Amino acid sequence: MAYKNKGNALTKPQLQPGYTIENDGYGLLTSRLVYRVDQTRVESNAPKKGDPHPKDPRLKAWKVMWTRDQNDFGTITADYIGFAAGDSTTPIVSGIGVTQQEAIDTHISFESSIGGTPAAPINGATFDATGKFTGFPHSQATKDAGVVNLKAYLAPTLGFSGIVYVGQFINVQTLVDAIGKTSKDGMFTGLQLVYKKEAEWVIGSPGGAIGNWDQLFLDSVNYEEFGMVYKISYTVRYFAYGFNPVVYSRSP
């Protein structure tokens, strides 16, 4: 029996019905489309990286595969990615509360109830001629206060890790440049990496300065190209007493 071709010659890809566009809840859009075409025209007619989604120009093609089917048909499957609004997503953030060791003379209560001041030491604390705290040497006063050789304390802190997607590599570069810098509100180089509840986080910094030291510190940044966007994974450190601005500069 002779084979006969009838109907649409499928010289151009025909979009098949039933496609979906998914929003991950943070503003990242993804979609998968299926096309049918004559198998001799599959590769030359497949969507190219960066081609717009035929139904929603916010998405661009980034991954394409094709299959040569029976009866001279070819099936093209194209994945698209983009943003619901703007050029980035909102961050996906997780956090863990931990403690970290800090020098005892940085404790917020050091002057009032732990070691006092060079002019008025308490609990057997000693200071050198320049006013620098030198320790709690063994004495009756330090024994009575329970601070013999006390050098450090455990301060509560939070560690945040997050993922954000951006559309331009310049955003990746500027964020990498901000590693080691601080923020008062979770904004680093124009990207909101942590949502800080200002009223709940105000706390005294060492030396009596209230709310003057930034409490958030960009610790690390990792990135990879993910289709037509860049996936950035990062960590941000929170310290209740803040990071000394003499040592750490603020992120732009």
pLDDT mean by block of 10 residues, the chain; 252 residues: 54 85 96 88 85 95 87 87 95 87 90 95 95 95 94 87 95 96 92 73 45 87 91 91 88 90
| Residue 214: both structure tokens together | 């930034």
Q: Pseudo-torsion of CA 200, 202, 203, 209, nearest 10°?
A: -170
Give me the pLDDT at residue 206, please: 45
Give me the pLDDT at residue 207, please: 44
CB 184 within 8 A of CB 214: yes
Q: Pseudo-torsion of CA 187, 85, 228, 171, nearest 10°?
A: -20
What is the maximal distance between C-alpha atoms in the chain? 110
- pLDDT tens string 75-117: 899 999 999 999 999 999 998 888 888 899 988 899 999 999 9
| Residue 197: both structure tokens together | 């509840």
Distance CA 121, CA 137 (A): 13
Where would I find the H helices in 79-234? Answer: 140-145, 169-177, 198-201
Give me the pLDDT at residue 130, please: 94
Closest C-alpha to 131, from 121, 141, 139, 145: 121
Distance CA 226, CA 31 (A): 14
